Chain A
Amino acid sequence: MNKAHVRYVVSMVVMLFVASLAFSTGTGEPKAGGEGEEKATLRISAYAFIIQKFNFRELVSRFEKEHPSVKIELLTATQDENPERNMLKWIVSKQTRSDLYIGGLSGEMSALALSGNLIDWEDFLKSGIKKDAFIASVLKEGVFENKQQSLPFYGDTLALSVNTVMMRKAGLPVDASGKPKPAATWDELAEYAKKLTVGTLPSPSIYGLSVDVGTFDCTLTYLNTVQASRGSLFGPDGTTVDASSSEMLAFLTFCQKGVTEGWGSNGTAADVNYGRNNLKARLIAMIYEPISRCNESRTAMNVGPEEIQVMAVPGQDRNGGITAAHHAYIPKMSKQPVLAKKFVAEQLLSDYCQQWAVVNFGKFPIMRSAYKGLPADPEYATVLDLMEKSVQQPNYVDFARFNDLVMRNVQNMMVLKQTPAEAMQKIRDGYKELNLTIVK
């Protein structure tokens, strides 16, 4: 090796050393960002619809402004990155690409909770935002193994979103404030739907009702109805969701009758957006779906509370339904758990974010305080009341298979491949194959 070679090697080593020093700045163990603190990066994954509907660009900009040393990387989660699939990756690779995940329903979280891959929020609820600031039923969704393992950030339940202009036209009761009078029984609701139907049966030009039996929400519809009709989700054994009561038989019969007589549509069995699209197009008068559809439809139709309102299904104003919140959760491998919780507290649960999401997209607040500053509208009082009375979904170990079992049989019934009684029998039979232990 001659001198030139030696010089070359030495200079390369020095350059590498200098470069590594330069690049290592700010990558040390980061702390919660603030004035004079080390630079830190917080990686947040959220579904595209959540980024849009919670105005994430604004939230990120506000957070970075308040914490100049923090840089947020916003990653759009794909549909395949639901919590369970993420968890599979975490278990195998022992790493995660995000410090904070925004999204995920409680049913999907049960497997996550079992695997012990989440950082809990207990300290957050003791020292930060207090538990009673949340709607209790929604907050409970995130409790697994007696710990708050995920934090809901928006709440939903299912009810009817109805076109009150059509209701008035059909001679159905709507009070002076624009609030529709809920039907007390399924038979009465069938009468509502018949009056709202326009055109020749069984193929009318406007349907009275669409019940959501789509891939995403069919089981939620079923669960919501069990709770609303019976005041409890469970059958005689106290563990399995009721599939034998006369109340549920009445509901399923009501749904099938709607399809055979023509005043009810089964369009959601194929297209999950069928109900909401047709409500917006004024081709369906009532949809039984998540209540977020109400404000979303108003925005799309460019109308206000005078045309689209929320209405309870029979029994729901007494017994509530089920909650269906989306959650924020922090994987154990997160490098920024403190910052992640700070972002949730300061931005996601802020009145600004909670109110913006509901006014623009119908994503309802889970913070009680956020309901106080909302515009005058009978809808908000109805929703808060329904959510306070609602209960959480059963966090079964085999929730995914339970979900498919119910969906499959309700859909088959809706397309007239089986009777309501057969659907209930098949659901009961299917229970034998599943692990229906509830993760508490």
Chain B
Amino acid sequence: MPTGKKRHYNPTLTQGRNRSGVLFALPSLVYLALTLVAPLLIALFLSLTDYSPLYSPRPKFIGINNFLRLFRDEQFLIATYNTLVFTLGFLCLCISFSFVVALLIDTGIRGARVFNTAVFLPVIVPISLTSVAFVWILDPDFGIVNYLLKLVGLGSIAAKWLSNPQTVVPSVVGVSIWRYAGISVVMFLSGLQAIPQELSDSARVDGANYFQELFKIRVPHLRETFLIVCVWNITISLKVFTQVKVMTGGGPGTASMVLYLYMYNNLLKYFRMGYASSISLVIAVLVIALTLLSDRLLKAERN
């Protein structure tokens, strides 16, 4: 209720509040500084050095040589290419698949709940177990995928899924969709259920068919959800590691080598701390760039 009195700026009170605010935030700030900022700074420092704790006790400063070497390193370039191919494939297929599944569940057809649970169930299975299971499922001789293909007369499609350079990345994409699609489905479903029913009803009264209603009403209302799902899936796909490590080890050859696995190899197999740090920074830059881009898009959408 307006009192008619003018509010006076009281510098002492404001400073006191600020101080309390800072004090309350301090534990979190210290935690963030220790767990995020400090490692980032250490990685930045190491990326400018030639350092392997096993062979040289002290880091040797070499400037930006590690970064220059990265762009001449065939394995790094292959890993970057594979990661981007994986990201693109996973993003497109996972979003399409999850959206269709969410639409199906949203129609409320019989068994939708069971279907919903079935799609979400893989999310709670550890990714390492999923990967081990899929090595068997995709086995060219014993695997159930090839068995079923042969059973229905599609034996010509049956392949050596993981030992063929052409099919290995798509296979890992497929496994990842199976594992992660449930989360995107839930996101889409909550977005769909937030659309007012009246809009759909009035569209139908005006004579709109299912597809007109879908593309003129639902999809425009889901733009923000699409963006969030996009950001989420990009983050997942740039971080792809466990599936590749367990299922293929980056092979055959370098056919499925991805950035995280290459960084891991340099860090824990070859102990090239400096070089591994430079790879980690490149990944960080990639993630930050894509996150900023999607953040901009999200803001533009809201405005």
Contact = CB atoms under 8 A, between A and B. Distances in A.
Contacts, number: 88
A266 B141 CA distance: 12
Contacts of A274: 139, 163
Interface string A86-104: 0110011000000000000
B36 interface: no
Interface string B226-263: 00000000000000000000011101111100000000
A115 interface: yes
Given A85-B268, A267-B163, A271-B163, A412 B55 contact: no
A91 B53 contact: yes
A417 interface: yes
Interface in A397-411: 397-398, 400-401, 404, 407-409, 411
A283 B165 CA distance: 23
Interface residues of B, number: 29
A88 B269 CA distance: 11
A174 interface: no
Which of A215, A269, A401, A411 counts the most B-chain CB atoms under 10 A from its CB? A269
Nearest to B247: A270
Interface residues of A, number: 36
A399 to B, nearest CB: 10
Given A283-B141, A400-B270, A215 B251 contact: yes
Nearest to B255: A415
A415 B142 contact: no
A213 B168 CA distance: 16
A111 B270 CA distance: 10
A213 B253 CA distance: 10
A220 B28 CA distance: 51
B164 interface: yes
A345 interface: no
B53 A411 contact: no
B224 to A, nearest CB: 41
Given A215-B251, A408-B254, A114 B55 contact: yes
B162 A270 contact: yes
Contacts of A281: 141-142
Interface in A262-289: 266-267, 269-271, 274, 277-278, 281, 283
B252 A415 contact: yes
A267 B135 CA distance: 12
Q: Name the prevailing secondary structure of the A interface residues.
A: helix
Which of B54, B165, B253 counts the most A-chain CB atoms under 10 A from its CB? B253
A270 B251 contact: yes
Given A115-B54, A404-B265, A414 B270 contact: no
Contacts of A404: 265, 269
A397 B253 CA distance: 23
Interface in B122-181: 135, 139-142, 160-165, 168
Contacts of B45: none
Contact of A87 (B54, B75, B254): B54
A191 interface: no
Given A215-B249, A411-B253, A269 B163 contact: yes
Contacts of A435: 55
Nearest to B75: A408
Contacts of B141: 267, 278, 281, 283
A307 interface: no
B97 interface: no
B249 A415 contact: no
A84 interface: yes
B251 A411 contact: yes
A114 B54 contact: yes
B252 A270 contact: yes
A84 B251 CA distance: 23
Given A91-B53, A270-B163, A271-B163, A409 B253 contact: yes
B164 to A, nearest CB: 7
Contact of A84 (B140, B163, B271): B271
A270 B269 contact: no
A4 B139 CA distance: 75
A331 to B, nearest CB: 15
Nearest to A409: B253
B73 to A, nearest CB: 10
A266 B268 contact: no
Contacts of B265: 404
B139 A269 contact: no
A398 B139 CA distance: 33
Contacts of B53: 88, 91-92
Contacts of B253: 269, 408-409, 411-412, 415, 417
27 contacts: A84-B54, A84-B268, A88-B268, A91-B53, A91-B54, A115-B54, A215-B251, A266-B163, A267-B163, A269-B163, A270-B135, A270-B160, A270-B248, A278-B141, A397-B55, A400-B269, A400-B270, A404-B265, A407-B251, A408-B75, A408-B254, A411-B252, A411-B253, A412-B252, A417-B253, A417-B255, A435-B55
Given A88-B271, A274-B139, 15 more contacts: A84-B268, A88-B268, A111-B271, A114-B55, A215-B251, A266-B163, A270-B168, A270-B248, A398-B270, A401-B269, A407-B251, A411-B251, A412-B255, A417-B165, A435-B55
Closest 4 CB pairs of A and B: A412-B253, A270-B162, A270-B163, A269-B252
